[in-house]
Structure 1
Amino acid sequence: MIDRLEKEVDMLERHLQVLRMVIENEPIGIVKMSNETGYPHHKVRYSLRVLEEENLIEPSSQGAITTDHTAEFVEDLDEKLDDTVEKLRDMRIESAPEAEN
């Protein structure tokens, strides 16, 4: 169960790293992103597809570029991440108190 969560977090981290690269270097292509991040081309391509489906980037003839929705997403990101971290903290199961002798 936790393994799936860890994989999802890793994938989200990759998507956000790819988005950050687009924001900082637009337009930017798959090969450059793959070379700079060390992610294989197919993983960068998948992240770009996810970001495009979320309307955060769009393709251009020179590479990926941001959209009008990117800035708003970035502004809200920290708060959403903080909320998620708090939810995860609330899920903790404290260890049972040791029996007193």
Structure 2
Amino acid sequence: MLEKIRSEVELVGRHLRVVRIVAEHQPIGIMKLAELTGLPAHRVRYSLKVLEGQGYIQASPSGAMVTEAAKERMESLDSEIDRIISLLETMRKENTTNQ
């Protein structure tokens, strides 16, 4: 049951890593992103497609660039992660109580 959550968290982590590196090195192409992330080019390409669909990355002739939406989202990322951790801690406590 929790395998799907773990898989999704790993995928979101990969997307976040890609967007951070794009922000640091923009504009940047897929091959350079693959080199910097250590990920295969097809995974980088998929992350870029997802991020572009969500409005966080935009393609340019020189390579990928972050949008203002990505910059705003990255600023609130720590608080969003804290909320998720709190939710998981609540789930753990409920599970421990019910055993």
* One-letter identity of the residue aligned with 2:9: V
Structure 1 residue 37, shift from structure 2 partner? 1.4
Identify the residue that residue 56 of structure 1 maps to in structure 2.
56
Q: Secondary structure of 1:91's partner? A: helix
* One-letter identity of the residue aligned with 2:90: D
Per-residue CA distance 1:28-84 (angstroms, 9 max, x = gap) = 111011112121111101111111111111000111001121221111111111101
Kindly name which structure, 1 or 2, has the bigger radius of gyration based on alpha carbons.
1
The structure carrying a bigger helix percent of its residues is 2
CA distance in 2, matches of 1:37, 1:75: 21
User: What pairs up with 1:36-47 in 2 under 5 angstroms?
Assistant: 36-47=36-47
Worse-superposed segment, 86-95 or 49-58: 86-95
CA distance in 1, matches of 2:53, 2:34: 20
Q: Secondary structure of 1:64's partner? A: strand
Say what the alpha-carbon RMSD is for the aligned residues. Answer: 1.1
Gaps of 5+ in 2: none
Gaps of 5+ in 1: 97-101
Identify the residue that residue 32 of structure 1 maps to in structure 2.
32
CA distance in 2, matches of 1:20, 1:71: 9
Moved over 2 A (4+): none
Tell me the TM-score normalized by structure 2: 0.91
CA distance in 1, matches of 2:88, 2:48: 27
* One-letter identity of the residue aligned with 1:7: S
Identify the residue that residue 2 of structure 1 maps to in structure 2.
2
